[in-house]
Amino acid sequence: MEGKKTMEYEIAEQYGWEPPDVIIYPLGGGTGIIGMWKAFEELEEVGLIGTDRPRMIAVQSSGCCPFVRAIERGSYKVEEFKDPSTIANDLCVPKPYSSEVTISVIRKSSGTAISVTDEQILEDMKVLMKEGIYACPEGAATLSGLRILIDQGEVERTDRVLLYNTGSSMKYGGSLERLLTSSQL
């Protein structure tokens, strides 16, 4: 978790010590969100940022979305997601261990968790590739999530939004290439 804090240190500096309004993060086990939140608290303690915090929005695959289900139920406990299946390997965490703390951070930030389909992820991978961004499926899921959040009125076009891409599509090798070229999107 300490290593995950470095993500927020970099964000805070690059945003001129004013956090974005919304952070959309691809959520597997939950430690990324916890680490970022801890970094916000530490940066405030040393006087580098104020008390404003972004809304933390978790994106999961509809094929494995235990956090989404827990938040929809109003629970802090995640139940194991049975028979998970998604092209986004790092989002396939059916029984995350940090669920209570992760959900607590999401709620404290007035955030939420949403799910996106593999089809939406593949579509947005292609969109990002056209812009020269070879996002992994997990990273592309954040763009898919943003589209949904804008349509639902949860995120305004004037909000400063940070989408996290946690890796390159290259780490998937030929398996993802076959999916991208064979999909009928």
Domain locations in the chain?
Answer: 2-182
Name the phi and psi angles at 25, rounded to 5.
Answer: -125, 135
Q: Which CATH number fits domain 2-182: 3.40.50.1100, 3.30.1360.40, 1.20.1250.20, 2.40.160.40?
A: 3.40.50.1100
4 pLDDT band, cuts 50/70/90, is: confident
138 pLDDT band, cuts 50/70/90, is: very high
Average pLDDT over the chain reads: 92
Q: Count Cβ neighbours within 10 Å for each residue of 7-21 and write b for 16 or more, e otherwise.
A: bbeebbeeeeeebbb
Residue 104 neighbours by CB distance under 10 Å: 15
CA–CA dist 125, 77 (Å, integer): 31
Residue 181 has pLDDT above 70, yes or no: no
| Segment 90-119, tens digit of pLDDT | 999 999 988 999 999 999 999 999 999 999
| Segment 56-74, tens digit of pLDDT | 999 999 999 999 999 999 9
CA–CA dist 176, 10 (Å, integer): 29
CA–CA dist 87, 138 (Å, integer): 9
CA–CA dist 40, 63 (Å, integer): 31
